[in-house]
Structure 1
Amino acid sequence: MTLNFNQSRFISYKQVRTWYANLVKPRKNEAPYRHIIQIGDPTLRATSEKVPTHLITSPEIKSVIDQMKLVFNKYKCVGLSAAQIGIPIQIFLMEFNKNHAKLFNKQEQKNMEMLHYPLKVVINPEIKILDYTKIIFPEACESIKGFYADVARYRSLNLKGFDENGNNFSENFNGWLARIIQHEIDHLNGITYTDVMDRKTFTCSCWNVINERGGRVELPYGPQ
């Protein structure tokens, strides 16, 4: 369900509020989901709509953000777009904490320029590339469960947007955090990492386990 605010100059404030209110009605197995949708779902290919600035702190948007936080924590994500729970609006979450860092050794953390960063809600993001050097590292996505591939990303960028309280912010990011941001911005533009990956490196993350178990492997699509 989408509404293109740019195409109609005659949409009333009431109509806009009604559309956003419809996003968060408690309906069984309908968006916003309590799970992360998978590639093939048309929502992942939609261009996400900007959130009207006067609605950023509205109960409707707060409800979407709360649902995103629930899913984000349940899946132990480092990044999550609203599109990934079925709502194509320009919001994403990002975080990189000590538990995320434990998945990498010290040398990997140094090479990938990994820094801890607290949970942040980003609304209507805009980026400006500061360093056009492209760095290649493996990348995965909860919407493409069980696979990863090498992806080239710009090393440094400036991120502007609004936080969940409607405050403007502008911040520079390098390395791994810049990668997370670019990955989530892609989601808001209907792009997945499979569109920009090195196709020869596309790999099933459990290929060796599949062989060891004679193909008897089930892939969970929920949090483990």
Structure 2
Amino acid sequence: MCAAADRARRPSLVEQVEELLATGGPLPLVEAGEPVLRQPVAPYDGELPPALLDRFVDALRLTMRAAPGVGLAAPQVGVALRIAVIEDPAPVPEEVRVARERVPQPFRVLVNPSYEPVGAERAAFFEGCLSVPGWQAVVARPAAVRLTGLDERGRALDEVFSGWPARIVQHETDHLDGVLYLDRADLRSFSSNRAMAEHWNAPTPHGAARALGFRLPE
């Protein structure tokens, strides 16, 4: 009984993070099918000492940039903490920037984030995910959201995001609720990266909707 419990004991979050960071370099990414990606994460409540939290945030940033991606949530590296990072230099052509309202976003840390729609407008674009490599699908999301939460220093965040930045914060916050973008996607749009490069690299998914037979928001 006790021996079995000891054998089955999971490492604490501190032990888990320290073990991850001991390897150095980008952290290994967890892919769809792992339970940690499907379990809502409880609010962060100081589980990591401040110095360890700083190191973990640095590792998330390094991993996000190396992938590369524009956001990364702690569950995507197997850690059940309600923490995510985002950053988007937005190195895209002008027509893409205009169509997707994709503007540069500085690096920031989201602790215990939550969002709510601002207005009724919805926008649909292809999304991918570092935890679902090789595939993309069209997701209709609120075009603007109000994000609340904290930063890594415990300072309050309360900001309205629109366009592509709104999509990023929704995608990453969803990870902390055990939600993958595929849960919200129109699966008729589900496309490999090869198909995306060959057929669907236009700024908007209207051509894909006509060819693949899915509907976009009015």
- What TM-score comes out, normalization by structure 2 length? 0.77
Report whether the alignment pairs 1:70 with 2:58. Answer: no
| Counterpart secondary structure, 2:66 | helix
For 2:27, the equivalent position in structure 1 comes to 34
Q: Which of 133, 150, 167 matches 1:145?
A: 133
Asked whether the equivalents of residues 57 and 166 of structure 1 are also in contact (C-alpha less than 8 Å), the reply is no
| Counterpart secondary structure, 2:120 | strand
- Residues 209 and 120 (structure 1 numbering): CA distance in 2 closer, same or farther, change over 3 Å? closer
- Report the count of equivalent residues: 186
For 1:92, the equivalent position in structure 2 comes to 84
Asked whether the equivalents of residues 57 and 164 of structure 1 are also in contact (C-alpha less than 8 Å), the reply is no
Deviations 1:134-177 (A, max 9, x none): 11111111111010011001011111111112211211110100
Q: Distance in 2 between matches of 1:131 and 1:123?
A: 24
Q: Distance in 2 between matches of 1:73 and 1:28?
A: 16
Q: Which amino acid in 1 is paired with 2:130?
A: E
Q: Distance in 1 between matches of 2:145 and 2:96?
A: 21
For 2:72, the equivalent position in structure 1 comes to 80
For 1:178, the equivalent position in structure 2 comes to 166
Equivalent residues in 2 for 1:1-224, closer than 5 Å: 19-26=12-19, 34-52=27-45, 54=46, 58-97=50-89, 100-102=90-92, 105-207=93-195
Give the alignment's Cα RMSD to 1 decimal.
2.5
- What TM-score comes out, normalization by structure 1 length? 0.75
Asked whether the equivalents of residues 56 and 164 of structure 1 are also in contact (C-alpha less than 8 Å), the reply is no
Asked whether the equivalents of residues 139 and 149 of structure 1 are also in contact (C-alpha less than 8 Å), the reply is yes
Paired-residue identity, %: 28
Which stretches in structure 2 are left out of the alignment for 5+ residues? 1-10, 199-218
Q: Which amino acid in 1 is paired with 2:191?
A: T
